[in-house]
Structure 1
Amino acid sequence: MEERIGVGGAEMQRRCRNFAHWIESSGFIDLMYSGPKHTWARGETEATYMAARLDRFICNEEWRLRFEEGAVCHLPKNMSDHCPIIVSSGGFAPIPTSLRPFRFQAAWLNHDKFDNFVSSNWNRTEPIVPLQKEFASRLVKWNREVFHNIFRKKAELWARIGGVQRELSNGWNRKWVKL
């Protein structure tokens, strides 16, 4: 019941106890998570707001011992009343920048200065393989300095949404619902 807001009653308490008993008697382990506390929420007023951790990953002891680094992440919800959930048997270590492959972004084509950038940085007389590597590195720099890193902006927005949803997990608040 401590994983719920605005949803309760004697019948719900009974069902929660039965579920907890089933997990324990079956020898399952509830994998802990990072991210928003609730995996489901709806309602925009104090009277209608409800939230709960409806979704979870459970495993047996054998799986847990085999995948000690296993982790679960609740992502911020968007366009649904449920949040997406990711489970990883190896945890969620950040990928070093040096290992990330270059990715061309179609949005660059719409930028006013992209054609000029390509014209001034593409040398048709150089061998293609070294040119591609150098061009990609210049393009990454152009993305950061001129286009501005849309991935960082996207990550910032998702972090903000996640923060709002974490605040809502403490209880309904008009300010957070409006955000």
Structure 2
Amino acid sequence: MDLGYAGSEFTWWNRRDGQASIKERLDRFCDNVEWVAQFPSYRATHVDERVSDHLPILLDMRPVNRRLKRGKCRRFKMIWVNDDRCDKEVEESWAQCVSNNAVETCMNKVEKCLSMLQHLNWSEYGNVQKEISLCKERSQVDFLRYRDKDTGWFHNKASVRRTINNISELRGKDGMLYANDQDMERIIVVTPYNLHFSLLRVGDLIDSEQRTWREDMVNAIFLPVDAEIIKLIPLSIHLPPTG
């Protein structure tokens, strides 16, 4: 079987130009399935060395994966902009590292500037990323991940919460269920306290002009209520089937 190749498509050229030029792949490595199973990481290469009309071919049975180690990327953090010392650090570092080569000078200045800012970051703010990771571990993973995103998970949570908090029917003293808004308002009137509860929004509790809580509304919510009176108005919440 043909072991394939990497590199130029052809291994032979008759060294002529134009219509007389002929290129072919005359040289190749061949072996059987057992050999391929023994050396699965082999690599056959057409070496681009034009010494003769044939290209040399190279078979590496155990190639070494030489991946260059990339240094950690250092980025400018927006938190530095709010620090008054940031400008001073940049000016001091930019005034240093001067050489005859303009490109080398610029690279050295940037490197020096980032080093000084990194030192300032660690000394003043600590390992912010580590603190964020710890906060994530202590919090609910799904909520931290999806809370501010327009995702199906978020909308599903909101729908479930809205369904649970919704009271669609109330049972009156006569044992009948009432779904009409007027009937429900009549049922939840607590006569001994002359209280009338309706759907309440957060905005109803806030004085828009004074930008403070409305004490009358807040106090009305937390008035003491006799447990026996509450028993007279059993609430019946009917949730849709979840299946």
* TM bucket normalised to smaller: 0.3 to 0.5
Structure with the larger RCO, 1 or 2 (CA within 8 Å, 6+ apart): 1
TM-score scaled to structure 1, two decimals? 0.35
